[in-house]
Structure 1
């Protein structure tokens, strides 16, 4: 079973029971107040919690992976929690990332408000699972999107970079494949993610507490934190765009990254900072996080107990119509 199946199952149940969806198919629009959505609370209880994160962690990291008892509070990276409610600052590198689900507003035309809320919650929780499974920290929830940090004081930049790329590749896979296939069957088109990721080095990131009292958070002031959402806006459907600092942490980067025609930043001194499209599908396959089935479809292998069966007799016709991933 894929690690994302429990979230998709809840979404399917909500859509199947949605009164507005059934009513639109039979009649015309009906006032939202007429719909009984009391079943939503039961479905919310079916959304996986920490137990699903622990089960997935054991599949990925081995049976001796330590159990997660709780997750860090939003806006409170544990390595910089000492800055909470102080005027102190600290310089330290971090990877900032933004992911958002686009075109999700069309859900309001098809489903009751409670169903839309449950779908959004399911996507957010699935994304939080992927981020925490790969060692990231959710900094902020913005509607149906997330701001995330990867890195800290006890991890190397290269490893944190790999973890961030894996996490958002998984989220992109979930929305592009599992979620899209189901929404297509319901007549919901063109829902997709866009992601931006960038790395700021020690001299480029200032950690600080921003806000007043409980109305604040430990956050970063950095050009590269600010560039990540700009890269997100430049991503294609289900695409991931990264900055040059991310590229510099990956060996054989030419395999996975293609420079965009326009740089993301002009330093106004003759220098420019480039942005790159990330081929996350090839990255998943090359790193054994996903496989192709006999139809050429990409199957996420993290948490899957069933290995796609490849029959040699089918390889010839597949090769004729599909490009292999080494030339993806």
Structure 2
């Protein structure tokens, strides 16, 4: 299954037609740059918008998501938008997440800023797709990264934890598996994601409007919102670090490795711990990935019986994952 192929193909075309890459010089004349700007403007139209590709629709159906879902407005969690412009404060649990692409500034050493802009836009759009497919809310776009919330007033807390881990795992997969080799083939080394996630319980989170007039946003005040970006900074390359509240709510210790250094000291004898999260193992175990014959992770959906899934939606996915497909058909 190739749900990120449209994003990857736009990046590939932008890189292959980049005038700096083709000429290996930074002294480019304006006419050449103008032609490249026109090409990039046309190429941007190939990025998926609100309409999902067939592979995306198949994945959405298999995950139990309507293929007509709409993207949520930036920074507008529907359960708390009524706080905008008011002095009201509400307590409610939420999962805060931060993910971005590290060392992406190296792209400027190889390509024009127009190409870098389109690469960044492709990664951001793919990330927004993964967040929305998994029921999350993009709060803010920060360069080539996202601040995201998962959860809400009508959402089960454990399910929100599972959805947050699933979403960030898919984004990590995209950069590590779909983009890494292509970037390295074009002289860009060590581009990777880092992610951090933490859960603040209801008595640990204030929702409120921060700012003046239109210069503000509905946001959260919580230790755990503040800790999520710190965990991101502590993640390994292509890694994800989560807080103790996430680990205990998922209830599957095999995915978590406690880091030697705590993420927060309450200064009263209590310590708050952080954990490396094995997102690749998690994707396989929840049926969103398999290993191919070469041991490479492939995004897919398994076909184990599930009353919420329609086998007609799963067949086209399983058929594209040969090791898995052969295993499935042997039982028929």
**What TM-score does the superposition give when structure 2 sets the normalisation length?**
0.88
**Residue 122 to residue 43, structure 1, CA distance change in 2 (3 Å):** same
- Corresponding residue number in structure 2 for 1:269: 268
Q: Quote the Cα distance in structure 2 between the aligned partners of 1:280 and 1:229.
A: 18
Question: Which blocks of at least 5 consecutive residues in structure 2 are unaligned?
Answer: 302-315, 327-332
Preserved CA contact (<8 Å) 2:20 2:110: yes
**Residue 210 to residue 54, structure 1, CA distance change in 2 (3 Å):** farther
2:290 is equivalent to residue 291 of structure 1: yes
Q: Quote the Cα distance in structure 2 between the aligned partners of 1:142 and 1:109.
A: 21
- Corresponding residue number in structure 2 for 1:46: 46
Map residues 72-91 of structure 1 onto 2, 5 A cutoff: 72-91=72-91
How far did 1:181 drift?
Answer: 1.3
How far did 1:184 drift?
Answer: 1.2
- Corresponding residue number in structure 1 for 2:235: 235
**What TM-score does the superposition give when structure 1 sets the normalisation length?**
0.89
- Corresponding residue number in structure 1 for 2:26: 29
Q: Quote the Cα distance in structure 1 between the aligned partners of 2:325 and 2:83.
A: 57
1:213-268 deviations in whole A, cap 9, x for unaligned? 22111100000000000000000000000000001111222x10000000000000
Preserved CA contact (<8 Å) 1:54 1:67: no
Preserved CA contact (<8 Å) 1:58 1:65: no
Q: Quote the Cα distance in structure 2 between the aligned partners of 1:47 and 1:150.
A: 25
How far did 1:48 drift?
Answer: 0.1
How far did 1:178 drift?
Answer: 0.5
2:159 is equivalent to residue 159 of structure 1: yes
- Corresponding residue number in structure 1 for 2:320: 306
Residue aligned with 1:140, SS: strand
Q: Quote the Cα distance in structure 2 between the aligned partners of 1:13 and 1:277.
A: 35
Residue aligned with 2:184, SS: helix
Residue aligned with 1:51, SS: coil
Q: Quote the Cα distance in structure 2 between the aligned partners of 1:31 and 1:99.
A: 34
- Count of residues paired in the alignment: 308
Q: Quote the Cα distance in structure 1 between the aligned partners of 2:165 and 2:121.
A: 23
How far did 1:197 drift?
Answer: 0.1
How far did 1:187 drift?
Answer: 1.4
- Corresponding residue number in structure 1 for 2:6: 6
Residue aligned with 1:309, SS: helix
- Corresponding residue number in structure 2 for 1:324: none
Residue aligned with 1:46, SS: coil
- Corresponding residue number in structure 2 for 1:259: 258
Preserved CA contact (<8 Å) 2:72 2:132: no
Question: Which blocks of at least 5 consecutive residues in structure 1 are unaligned?
Answer: 313-328
Preserved CA contact (<8 Å) 2:93 2:151: yes
